[in-house]
Amino acid sequence: MYGDKFTRSVYTHNDLGYLTEEHSRNVIYADPSSGMTQPDVGYDAAIIKMQNSYDLHGRRVSQTTYNTSGVAKTLTTYSYRGDTEMVDQKAYKYVSGVAKLNQATYFSESGMRNAAGNQVAYRYVVYQDN
């Protein structure tokens, strides 16, 4: 009576065409030989998997990922300077509902760009769990 079970993902985009959210749900399809006319026999509630936020210039400023229960798992933030070059990227892990800084990459500290403005170095930091 029942056929395949799989995960269906649905993507949401903003007016500029950038991905803003991804949701997924498990879907069960009817076995075609059963004579059922409705292909979707059942499905789980949709669970959010990922969410992006953008600034007015279309640059991604944050991304949140979620576990299979829809609870926030990680948060990554992105900072930019006026000429759109990235200043830093910070990754947080959620521990008991609190976002804790886990790692960071810095791109705009002294000596990280040459005279032409090209990136020549960066600093990567991993923070210990508390």
pLDDT in tens, 82-118: 888 899 999 999 999 899 999 999 998 999 999 998 9
DSSP label of 103: E
Please give the single-letter amino acid code of residue 46: A
Collapse the DSSP code of 86 into the 3-class scheme (helix H, G, I; strand E, B; otherwise coil) and give the result: strand
Query: Regarding predicted confidence, which is higher, 23 or 38?
Result: 23
pLDDT value of position 49: 93
DSSP string, 47-85: EEEEEEEE-TTS-EEEEEEE-TTS-EEEEEEEEE-TTS-
- Tens digit of each residue's pLDDT (9 = 90 or more) over 37-85: 555 556 677 889 999 999 988 999 999 999 988 899 999 999 998 888 8
